[in-house]
Amino acid sequence: MRRSLVTLAASLALAGAQPVAAQDLGKLTDESRAVARDLAGRLGAELKKEISAGGPESAIKICKSLAPAIAGEISIKTGWRVTRVSLKPRNAMLGTPDGWEQQGLGSFDSRAAKGEDPEELEIGEIVREPQGTYFRYMKALPVQPLCLNCHGTGEVRDGVRARLATEYPHDKATGYSAGQIRGAITIKRPL
């Protein structure tokens, strides 16, 4: 936690943002972390349930429809923009990162390559944008063994490949290994 606050404070200084008390920054981070954990937990539970019931091919509908619906529900409840992004999105309309998110995802890849635990990678900072000032938060989504059913290389079954080709004709979200950064949950919160 202390390292996160130091990283956040340094990011604020570089971004030229207004000073924010450490406890305020900590509170914003903790609240965002809880929201990201909620989204990841709900999505993971639904994926496991669907894979058990109908296999990986059946679970594609969870990521396609239910994941955006859960993120939308959380966004409405909190008043924040909550979504998932990736440098290799499966659905470019929903998962393409903006400039800040691209930098964050690149940072996650670099930090993981240097040995940081992908499960612990997060970024949070105050950002000034033309539309206003926001607290922005990202939590890395490392590839879990379960994810390899649809995002891996040789692990992807022919039926899954065919379904992905139908559902996502411009899919870029394959070829991953367990532990790689697949993307992130991202939160944009107006201040």
Torsion of CA 129, 2, 138, 20, to 10 degrees: -20
Report CA Rg, the chain: 17
Predicted local confidence at residue 89, as pLDDT: 94
Minimal CA–CA distance to 110: which of 98, 121, 99, 94?
Answer: 121
Please tell me the predicted confidence (pLDDT) of residue 189. 96
DSSP symbol at 87: S
Predicted pLDDT of residue 7: 47
pLDDT of residue 68: 94
Distance CA 124, CA 137 (A): 4
Question: What pLDDT, on the 0 to 100 scale, is given for residue 22?
Answer: 63
Question: pLDDT truncated to tens, each residue of the chain (191 aa)?
Answer: 444 443 444 444 444 445 566 668 899 999 999 999 999 999 999 999 999 999 898 889 888 999 999 999 999 999 999 999 999 999 998 899 999 999 999 999 999 999 999 999 999 999 999 999 999 999 999 999 888 888 998 778 888 999 999 999 998 999 999 999 999 999 999 99
Q: How far is the C-alpha of 43 from the C-alpha of 123, rounded, in Å?
A: 21
47 close to 62: Cβ distance less than 8 angstroms: yes
Quote the pLDDT of residue 50.
92
Q: What's the pLDDT score for residue 63?
A: 87
pLDDT value for 14: 43
